[in-house]
Structure 1
């Protein structure tokens, strides 16, 4: 079975932008602390693979995920395929020399983790970045595909969260001394200000701040996500959920009523319902109404993220009704 595409979004998480900013700050603090503590501090070669339990999950996974990508392999003793995958991942952890940490979790000894991650079967591999879990792949896979997924994970960890593992030299017991943290760029400071405004509930200020970042960096993924989230939150902040849903039920052809209901669906975690409502609205409408429904659907795609399979499915459904 080939690995599924990674989803850097996972479930709907309107705190994702805040988490990314906090993770970057924690990563910089961790690097500075390792430098102060000297060459004997940090991640040694023997700690690149850990056996996680429910009791050690917070220290082994959540805390470490602010400093280094953590890959979790769920396995079972009677599943030979999962043990073979673990052997491959352990070897890759050594070869990648600290750019990710591998945690193995035996499913029968960790039923709570098994359920929390929504594991459907073993082997199953997940990642945790800045405390956020995401699926990587299910089942066995060729090594070249596994390394491709790992490379993608490491790139996202650095670009979106500022997380870079402390490199372990081959055969060394400790990593090389980390370089001093670099000063924040004006764009990073502007993005941080936007995050702070969003966190403080200043949605208007956050929207303008994210737009300022995008004016200089139109391809900034973090700013696009933050802007989409801030605009969504501003649209629903004064909404009466019961009244909105009743209005949408009473007037299936009322475009604004359906747009408002879709926003509430998404904020409530009903992603497929929100997408389905808008795809159906595009199908049933024409002219300016159709354009309004289509544009709102594209905005909600930004909130979830392009890598999410629900977005891919909705894009396909939208293409069918448009063409």
Structure 2
């Protein structure tokens, strides 16, 4: 099919999906398609099978529910047709296969445009293959070419790293897979990947914790939990040995100084005054310009990462930052 610019802005026009549609067989019925609806079945549409716990086949019945899941973490919609363009089917397969490596950083929704033409119409899909990233209900084109799987992995890693840097670190829960491990005394089992960093924190070795988290992030930039741990460890590192009273007095004396203001924001964060920390830096961004403005912005993004994308205060802070920047 001829490539055309993808220009669909804003929210989806779902009016085309309100008409009754022939139900597609699913493993779990309507709604979200049941656990593993896409990963567990092939069917006439030829959806990938045996991929991961973060893949489902999107139908006109469950489309809205899939889009709503983008309010938690990104959803990647892969539009394909094995009959019209086999390469698009291969891209869908590869995206589904890679989703497990990112451990819930995004959910893959497979859209067979032959089986669900109403979705393609609502999305104004210009061509296939097409991968659209959806975050907070808003779509953005990601890919319009059938990349080799290694290039696809690199692209996804870059996207997830960029989102993590903005503090967007929430993850989807797996749709299928092995039962969750039993908890002990109400606490979830520890993830061995973070053991070295957590042990360093337990020893009050903040520099060691920063180094361990940095190793994890360098090895896997898509590891949003490691990125969040690194961000918080850096807050601890910056505030180690600081006299809070002296720091606040210095900030009061220099309201436009990035270093003094961001240090107090770190202290506010550690004291649990998250909103105060965010407001302080947002206002600093608003008043600053040039390199100072960018430094304040970068610091705030680090605080967002430390708190976590699923915290409503972070969403509020992002909205305030956008207002201060523009």
TM, length-normalised to structure 1: 0.44
TM, length-normalised to structure 2: 0.43
